[in-house]
Structure 1
């Protein structure tokens, strides 16, 4: 029960309806308070105006000449709720009628120094105004006699109107309660409709969690906030599914690549253990085993390099001369591939920010691919140029080219085209993947253009080094340096 209550309290629907009701309650309370204050002010002002009007009427009556007024007629003349004090010339109370009872002394004191027709108010909200009434006689009062009244104090008790205000407040509170109940029900309906997309998203997410990998969050054509959220979550699901697929493919390909050399080594060892190798064949067997071990070692090293690059581990970047690095690669290639027709086109100097060892690996892989996957005698060009803020390295061959259908997969790990990328060349299928990973780690990019029957061009773009920096080159031990 407690867990259910906590879950209910933590729900979006609960928080929204609670916030909605809180705002409505606050708005209604403020509105009722302001309205009651304004009504109270209006009624008080009306009472004061009535006193002032009555005082002016009484003043006008006495100014018309001596008057004799029956005390019982005051209610008829002025109307309720009204109290009257009659005072003699010394300020003594001659008679008291209505709301003026028990307040004579305070009202006399307050109105004594007041300006003509100035309304004064007591601490308990009784309002009064004094009117000078020369020549006015009022009777019968007291023992039935008629008295001369020098001034009168007209009185009105505004507390009587306060009861109206409190009645209004109670009614507003009742209306507020009914309104909140109605708003609560309406809010539940609106939230149920408004949160329906979220409920659908929850069901879809649960289906994905149960293993429905093709399920995606529903998206309408309204472009609402929930639609944008669903698009973002679907992209995350797609990226996760793609990453999982790549991981499964990578694991399967890696195990496949390792299976062949391991099987070869196991076969030779088993044959040797069973005595199936004559003395002369033992050296051949160990040579084959060494080749397969070297192949495994190379594969493990390349996988380790890709893993480090995938984790975003930074390289040791420093300003270096890409032109000198390319020249050393060309020199090494002429020794490794004596029949290679390699042409190098480069400016005298091309400074870049890079890791010399990794960039050497990139250029060796590209030149090696051009040699291994093209017929003998194919011409290879290594061209370096300045392309704005980048250095461009292009490795071009005039070989058979790559079909357009194979280009999108050219940098996939362990991928080989049927004709040109077989295991007969001894490659692991990771060369171009390593090239792309290293170039991206340098903040650069890689592109390939190929046409069947014409040739292939692989282009690298690397950020150039700022001007005026000291260039270093470490292609070999004891490398020279140049300014």
Structure 2
């Protein structure tokens, strides 16, 4: 059985909250343990003292010498010391007769125990002189009682647990109140302390966040943000993070500068080479046309060679013009800013396509209203022509190609839709790359240079717009959005 891997849950708490809550829980847990230990220790100590008093009372009530002789223990009024408040005494004869029993109230008066209470004593208390707890019910409650027996007579002595219970209850309330106050103070103090301690980390995070919003994919990029020196102390963890971030940003800046320099060198080389190649290519075409235009006799091989020279020179001139245009667009050469009627431009583009490619079915879908944009009319015509030519080149004969134009909010949307076989998803990701090849996705003429879509994207981007493609078998849509 295959077990699906567990996905980590997103961390919803900040580091500050985690530290404050975690430390507060530990403080509260430590205080609870300390309080419980204190209460248990105090209760144990109080019971030890109470048991000691019970044993002393038992020895006093029993009267070791007289008890050994079988005499009755002295009563409360026989001249001996008065019993302690809250103490209990009882003497039961061998035949079960209660010879004497009593409990001393808080006002010093002594009341006799009931038969039921004496019965509880004789049932629950062993006569091994070891104190144990027994609930006598009524107004007496729980007592700590010890018993002893000799010659058939049983003596009980005990002390009330009310004082011990009251002491432990009061201590519990005091510790709970003090613990609550201490916990609130600890949370407030921890919040301030953690907030102050994490400020350097927040400043480092702010620098990283600002840098993350920069566009680093193209153009000259200057990363001016750096972590301040106080937050780059290598002796602290946050300082090490800040110093490492500064080193990383410096490395990225050097890499971007090197990339920009390389791109500028390559762009300058392409522009210079394209510009220099235009003259010799024009000369080659001119000489080829001159040779073909003369009536001088030529062999078929010579005639075909001059014809191919002219054709290839023309194709190379077109490629050089495309490279020169891309180099100028990459260099940020400003375009003309005129009012361009996209509706008329779309009508002209479809008319030209119908005249040049009768193997396809061309359709136009535009609204009645004129849609205008600001830009370079010649370049925008080149965009539409490249998209239509792309549809013609990479789809079989009989394919229906529709040029649509509409307004969507503040944008003018121009789309070219064809019913061809579609584009391979693997190719669609690099469709706008220069010299991209889509042989596996659509039937491609050998005359394509692979620069048409990249030129269209560069022109649209220079106009502040965007171009996207959506393709499934039987429907491919290139959509151009321009600010209207």
TM-score bracket, normalised by the shorter chain, equals 0.3 to 0.5
TM-score computed with the length of structure 1 as normaliser: 0.48
TM-score computed with the length of structure 2 as normaliser: 0.48
Q: Which has the higher contact order (CA 8 A, sep 6+)?
A: 1
